[in-house]
Amino acid sequence: MIDLYYWTTPNGHKITMFLEETGLPYRIVPVNINTGAQFDPAFLAIAPNNRIPAIVDHDARGGGAPLSVFESGAILLYLAEKTGRLLPPDLHGRIEVIQWLFWQVAGLGPMAGQNHHFSRYAPEPIPYAIERYQRIERVQAEFERALAKVREDKSREAGDRPILKVTTRGLGGEVEIRVRDNGTGIPPESRDRLFQPFFTTKPTGEGTGLGLSISYDIVTQQHGGTISVDSQFGAFTEFTVRLPRRMHGATTGRAA
């Protein structure tokens, strides 16, 4: 059994996603980082970086004392090696996964953390910092807002379950992210105008109509990617984002 020291944040979700995907049995030990539980000496003995996630594996390979691991990247690598899942055994596949794992934990993760800090917790708004760290996280925030909307959609039939399906896949020089709901779909007359600034189907005061147009600009102009939509009225809507693995014409001053 694995004890997962967890709180409901993206770094925590990385590990629950792995555990769910592989079906490893685990038990959640909540560490409320809003009340300072990460500084509890018992937790620091497991995670000296005073951050979730951390795990204790009571069934480590070869037996012996329970094994504790902190840092999400180290935990994912440990679990991948333990299960033989999600990390190909051949050299090329293994390095492909490891380099993206390192990119996530050393590149994207800290940027997202700074974004969160400057957009939510900084004592005063600093436009330069907010702009610098937002970028792709803004697209994610728009999707999260849309998800919340799907959840509270009053137009659904009683008992109708909102489902959001996210799939990712590598396409050689690009990565593809698809997000599909089982909502009411987008009528054809709205589809062409979806990415236009200030276009919204929401009631006055409920939306600015900027979320998708900003996401469109970030994906296409800043990342050289594409974003498209497929929808069947009354059945589903699916957004497909494709991002090149390498930035074309990126300005180095903007990198993390």
Ligand X SMILES: N[C@@H](CCC(=O)N[C@@H](CS)C(=O)NCC(=O)O)C(=O)O
Q: Which positions touch ligand X (CB under 6 A)? A: 9, 11, 33, 38, 50-53, 71-73, 105, 109, 113
- 129 vs 229 by CB, closer to ligand X: 129
d(CA 36, CA 13): 19
- 54 vs 219 by CB, closer to ligand X: 54
d(CA 56, CA 5): 8
Q: Kindly state the smallest distance separating residue 1's Cβ from ligand X, in Å.
A: 21
- 30 vs 197 by CB, closer to ligand X: 30
Q: Kindly state the smallest distance separating residue 144's Cβ from ligand X, in Å.
A: 15
Residues 6+ away with beta carbon under 8 Å from 117: none
Q: Name which of 133, 101, 95 is nearest 117 in CA terms.
A: 133
Residues 6+ away with beta carbon under 8 Å from 18: 24, 76, 79, 80, 86
Q: Kindly state the smallest distance separating residue 33's Cβ from ligand X, in Å.
A: 4
Angle of helix 127-152 versus helix 109-116 axis, rounded to 10:
90
- 50 vs 119 by CB, closer to ligand X: 50
Q: Kindly state the smallest distance separating residue 120's Cβ from ligand X, in Å.
A: 13
Q: Kindly state the smallest distance separating residue 148's Cβ from ligand X, in Å.
A: 20
Bridge partners, residue 175, by sequence: 170, 243
- 43 vs 239 by CB, closer to ligand X: 43
Give burial (CB, 10 Å; 0-12/13-18/19+) of 163. Answer: exposed
Bridge partners, residue 177, by sequence: 168, 241
Cβ atoms of 5 and 43 within 8 Å: the answer is yes
- 5 vs 195 by CB, closer to ligand X: 5
